[in-house]
Amino acid sequence: MRMAGGGVCVYIDPDGRQKHEAQCSRAHPYACPRPSRGAARRRAEPVKVPRIGFLSADVPAAISDLMEAFQQGLRDLGYAEGQNIAIVYRFAQGNMNRLPNLAAELVRLKVDITATGTTRDV
C-alpha cells in the first residue's frame, strides 16, 4: 500500500499494477479498507460472451438481407460479432427435415438464445 495525495490509499500488487483505491485519512492511512479476496476473484473471472444461435431453413444467400439486418440491429444495440457477442449459424439448405436436428444441435451447444429467419413457409 502507498499513500497518494488527497487522502487516497492505493494498493499496488507485486507486479506494480494498481489493485484497489479507497478514501482514507492522512493521519491513519492503514485504516483504509482493504479489497476482499472475493472481490479479487470476481474480477479475475473471464467475461462470458453471449452466444446467439441463428437457425434458418434456407441457404445463406437466400436470406443475406435478413442476416445483415439482424446483425445491424445487434450493432445498434452495441453488440459486435466476434467482439462481444458470438453467433452460431445453422442452415437447413432448403431441407425442412434437417431443422429438428439443427435446433437440437444449438441446444447442445448451449446458446443463450435462438433466433430464426427464413423466406419459406415452415
Note the pLDDT tens digit of each residue in 3-31.
444 445 554 555 555 555 555 444 544 55
* Grid coordinates of 61: 444467400
- Residue 108 sits in the same domain as residue 66: yes
Condensed to tens digits (0 to 9), the pLDDT of residues 41-86 reads 566 678 889 999 999 999 999 999 999 999 999 999 999 999 999 9
* Distances, alpha carbon 111 to alpha carbons 31, 33, 51, 103, in Å: 47, 40, 5, 11
DSSP-based three-state secondary structure for 115: strand
* CA distances to 41, 42, 45, 47 from 113, in Å: 28, 25, 22, 18
> Is the domain of 38 the same as that of 91?
no
Give the domain extent around 29. Answer: 2-44
Note whether 57 and 106 are same-domain residues: yes
